[in-house]
Amino acid sequence: MFKDEYKPQHLIECIKTAYQEQPTASRQQIIPIIFNLLSADSYSSSDIVKLIPQKSEYLKPNQWDILSQDDLRFIHSQLLTEKDLHKSLLEKNLILEIEKVLLKT
């Protein structure tokens, strides 16, 4: 399975690393770890871009109308009642009606 797709030395290094990280893992548990290591190593370090989480900026509720239309705060700012908000979120498939799900079971 692995030997046809990867160089033997690289495969051996990934297997050793996986067992060093998870020494008590079973074969079923270790295979996904090896796959992750192999796929992570298939990219050179220059290709990998570190993801820096965006810092959320605090906005006062009276500023929510300047946000993008997909932002829940924007949607909330456009609707006056809770019923309208709920209906809008249902239409956009942003919330789930749990009662309907429970009735189906």
Contact 21, 44 (CB under 8 A): no
Q: Is 91 helix (H, G, I), strand (E, B) or coil?
A: helix
Handedness of CA 83, 86, 91, 96 (dihedral sign): negative
Tell me the pTM.
Answer: 0.40
- pLDDT tens-digit map of 12-67: 888 888 888 888 888 888 888 888 888 775 544 433 344 456 666 788 989 988 88
User: What is the C-alpha to C-alpha distance for residues 46 and 74, in angstroms, rounded to an integer?
Assistant: 38
Residues 6+ apart with CB under 8 A from 34: 2, 14, 15, 18
Report the chain's C-alpha Rg in angstroms.
24
The average pLDDT across 73-80 equals: 85
- The continuous run of DSSP H or E covering 9 comes out as helix 8-21
